[in-house]
Amino acid sequence: MNEEIIYKYFPGLTDTQKEQFAMLGTLYPEWNEKINVISRKDIGNLYVNHVLHSLAIARFIQPTEGTTMLDMGTGGGFPGIPLAIMYPGCRFHLIDRIGKKIKVAQSIAEAIGLTNVTFQHGDIGECRSKFDFVVSRAVMRLDELVPLIRKNVSRTQRNGLPNGLICLKGGDLTEELKGIGRDVLRERVSSYFSEPFFETKELIYVPLC
């Protein structure tokens, strides 16, 4: 499935955004031949399983201009790069411990002309900056993730939604949600997108200020 699936759910994209999303369909397979950032058996599902999945966050929140987001454990750039295309007026910082994956994400961002993203090769403990939201996609258990990123969430509010963590997850989350010790909001991604892939996927929002 090609980039048309993105336009189905986000019909108001600019020509620049459409061109950037289209370029992902060439760049990711090319890079994946050199550095495996997406499972080889899954690269054919790039637009649904990775790009559109990342954009579930764009269905959940419409951030104000100047909003900052930290993509924790970005891998090859998900969800950060699709979100940066969607919201050129926001700033995104993508961090991952695996240097070759950050290299791929940075190279793709440069190739499509993204100017609202920065990159960091390192552990989340090395990132001391603060952001309005931390986003992630199936990086680790939520009860382990929340304590690690709490220091990175700004106390200054600029959106109607309180600052916090927005995480894309799948599977049984019962145990890890118990360990968070605070109320969370859970939304089924299938309420945003109708493709079968999303039937088991959830968006989890944890307010942290």
Q: Residue 131 carries which DSSP code?
A: B
Note down pLDDT in tens along the chain; length 209 residues: 799 999 999 999 999 999 999 999 999 999 999 998 998 889 999 999 999 999 999 999 999 999 999 999 999 999 999 999 999 999 999 999 999 999 999 999 999 999 999 999 999 999 999 999 999 998 889 999 999 999 999 999 999 999 999 999 999 898 888 888 778 999 999 999 999 999 999 999 999 98
Residues 6+ apart with CB under 8 A from 129: 70, 93, 152
Q: What angle do CA 115, 120, 125 make, to 5 degrees?
A: 140
Helix (H) / strand (E) element for 17: namely: helix 15-34
Beta-bridge partner residues of 206: 165
Strands (E), 149-207: 164-170, 185-188, 201-207
Q: 81 with 117: CB under 8 angstroms?
A: yes
pLDDT of residue 206: 96
In whole angstroms, give the CA distance from residue 53 to residue 35. 21
| Residue that the structure tokens 């509010």 belong to | 157
Q: Which of 166, 31, 19 is nearest to 92 (CA)?
A: 166
pLDDT of residue 117: 98
pLDDT of residue 207: 96
Residues 6+ apart with CB under 8 A from 42: 49, 50
pLDDT of residue 177: 87
Q: 197 with 53: CB under 8 angstroms?
A: yes
pLDDT of residue 127: 95
Q: Mutual orientation of helices 99-111 and 15-34 as an angle, nearest 10°?
A: 150
> The pTM is what?
0.96
